[in-house]
């Protein structure tokens, strides 16, 4: 990538208005987390292989929408922190240029993961950020992958004039199938046929892996079946897609609580209370907060732990019966699908709300 081209890319990206760029940053975050949460990838296979070597992926050749052990789940917090820090630094043109240089050199010359870290250290401007956020080999690979995901998305957007995720827009026929599965899932849930509801939501997710409502609804079925790790992962998927969805925070906090991550559950509950938009949501989250406050603090996994090689996790309990019993909780299964934003955009670029409905 020639210096003139890199600088032109940066200038065009910076010329996009702040609100639109913010929406793009959210789409970049979805792409960034896609290999870990949504069974998709927007980077070359070699990057997935390096992420596996660093312990962030179980199998680079088989990305799945599933759950893994707790250490891997909490490693997502590390990825999240690095992503947020890098997005802020990308506002500085010289740092953006440095990132593009590092990514291009890795794509051109790196044969193994150790080569990536050496190339990152060789670029002085980027090296400072790499050292600040990459104390270990695993963290360094997380920083480099974040840079790759960001640059890959920006170049794609500016060359084609649309969001990367817009390629996932469903056909009308597929949308009808998704809606059919979703509605049937809702009906089965209301009838108490929880196992069947889970299966129907899963079929819909296979067709639409970026639908926050589907993950949120399936998380609720997992909670009803005491499958708390599965509920934890699906709730997090819903929140990556829709960071202001109060109901997903309720389910996320509940799963954390059931898995004995009490302090983390309290924090997520408080965040969710900031996004309530109706009386029922406020009531449910408030009652949940009272319940949490009545319990003493329990040990919490270190948020900064980097995982060992990812292993498939088991459920925290499940039932093959349709009428599963569990501790009382609000019935928060959503009947409708909504967009990511109520405001239509005047941007020439696609928004996330254009293709998740």
pLDDT digits (tens, 9 = 90+) for 133-168: 999 999 999 999 999 999 999 999 998 887 777 777
pLDDT at 2: 60
Asked whether the beta carbons of 340 and 356 are under 8 A apart, the reply is yes
Question: For residue 68, what are the β-bridge partners?
Answer: 312
pLDDT mean over 96-108: 96
Helix (H) or strand (E) holding 104: helix 93-109
Q: In terms of residues, how long is the chain?
A: 357
Confidence label for 311 from pLDDT (cuts 50, 70 and 90)? very low
List the structure tokens of 254: 């509940």
Q: What is residue 308's predicted lDDT score, i.e. its pLDDT?
A: 33
Helices of type H across the chain: 3-15, 18-33, 45-53, 70-89, 93-109, 113-122, 124-133, 137-160, 172-190, 194-207, 212-224, 228-241, 246-258, 262-273, 279-293
Question: Which pLDDT score is estimated for 170?
Answer: 86
With a pLDDT cut of 90, the percent of the chain lying above it is: 72
CA proximity to 129, closest of 158, 150, 154: 150
Please compute Rg for the chain using Cα positions.
21
Query: For residues 286 and 269, what is the distance between their CA atoms, to the nearest angstrom?
Result: 8
How many CB atoms are closer than 10 A to CB 35? Answer: 22
53-67, 132-146, 333-347: segment of lowest average pLDDT: 333-347
Residue 333: pLDDT band (50, 70, 90) is very low
Q: What is the pLDDT of residue 320?
A: 37
Q: Taking every pair of C-alpha atoms in the chain, what is the biggest distance, in angstroms?
A: 63
Q: Give residue-wise pLDDT tens across range 201-211.
A: 999 999 999 99
For the cut 90, the answer to whether the pLDDT of residue 286 exceeds it is yes
In angstroms, the CA 171 to CA 182 distance is 16
pLDDT(70) > 70? yes
Q: What's residue 297's pLDDT? A: 52
**Tell me: the pLDDT tens digits for 212-231?**
999 999 999 999 999 999 99
Which pTM value belongs to this model? Answer: 0.82
């Amino acid at each position: 990538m020639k210096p003139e081209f890199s600088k032109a890319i940066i200038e065009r990206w910076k010329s996009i208005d702040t609100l639109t760029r913010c929406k793009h940053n959210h789409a970049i975050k979805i792409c960034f987390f896609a290999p870990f949460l949504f069974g998709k990838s927007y980077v070359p296979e070699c990057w997935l292989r390096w992420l596996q070597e660093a312990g962030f992926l179980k199998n680079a050749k088989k990305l799945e929408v599933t759950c893994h052990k707790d250490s891997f789940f909490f490693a997502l917090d590390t990825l999240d922190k690095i992503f947020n820090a890098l997005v802020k630094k990308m506002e500085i043109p010289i740092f953006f240029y440095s990132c593009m240089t590092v990514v291009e050199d890795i794509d051109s010359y790196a044969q193994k993961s150790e080569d990536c870290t050496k190339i990152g250290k060789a670029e002085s401007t980027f090296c400072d950020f790499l050292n600040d956020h990459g104390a270990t080999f695993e963290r360094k690979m997380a920083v480099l992958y974040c840079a790759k995901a960001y640059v890959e998305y920006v170049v794609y957007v500016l060359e084609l004039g649309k969001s990367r995720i817009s390629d996932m827009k469903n056909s009308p026929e597929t949308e009808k199938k998704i809606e059919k599965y979703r509605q049937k899932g809702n009906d089965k849930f209301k009838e108490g046929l929880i196992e069947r509801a889970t299966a129907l939501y899963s079929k819909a997710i296979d067709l639409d892996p970026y639908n926050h409502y589907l993950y949120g609804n399936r998380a609720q079925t997992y909670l009803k079946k005491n499958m708390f790790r599965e509920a934890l992962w699906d709730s997090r998927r819903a929140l990556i897609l829709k960071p202001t969805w109060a109901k997903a925070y309720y389910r996320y906090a509940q799963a954390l609580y059931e898995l004995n991550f009490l302090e983390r559950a309290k924090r997520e509950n408080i965040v969710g209370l900031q996004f309530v938009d109706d009386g029922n949501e406020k009531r449910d989250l408030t009652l949940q907060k009272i319940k949490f406050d009545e319990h003493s603090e329990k040990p919490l996994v270190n948020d900064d732990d980097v995982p060992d090689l990812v292993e498939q996790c088991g459920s925290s309990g499940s039932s093959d019966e349709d009428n599963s019993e569990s501790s009382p909780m609000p019935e928060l299964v959503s009947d409708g699908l909504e967009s990511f934003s109520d405001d239509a955009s005047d941007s020439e670029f696609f928004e996330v709300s254009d293709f998740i409905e």
